[in-house]
Amino acid sequence: MARLLEGSASGFYAWLKRAPSKRACSDAELLGRICAIHASSRGSYGMPRIHFELTEQGVRVGRKRVARLMRLAGLCGVSRRRWISTTRRQPDARPAPDLVQRHFVADAGCRQ
């Protein structure tokens, strides 16, 4: 495998034994906070509200980092807005009466 990836075997084993980086450790700690905020909101808070809660707690973090960690953890907010649904006519409903008594007749051909 080392030959295929053009690396050394000793480098691979050194990578296996290496401790996580500072960024990985802080991401794990921040993800714990994000999950706690998301759970306390019953899964409704998305990235903007979670970022606001973190800044209220005194944590300086970017919005894109919060979004990335939420995406990796599979967390997303819920939009509880009502969606507009169009009116659908019942198939057996009576059509509206033609009060104007219109009589339209289509020509057989198309005029140009």
> Considering the entire predicted model, what is its pTM?
0.61
| pLDDT per position as a tens digit, 3-31 | 777 778 888 888 889 998 999 999 999 99
Is residue 47 a contact partner of residue 70, using CB atoms and an 8 Å limit? yes
| pLDDT per position as a tens digit, 25-37 | 999 999 999 999 9
Question: Does residue 106 surpass a pLDDT of 90?
Answer: no
Q: What are the residue boundaries of the structural domains of the chain, listed by start?
A: 22-73
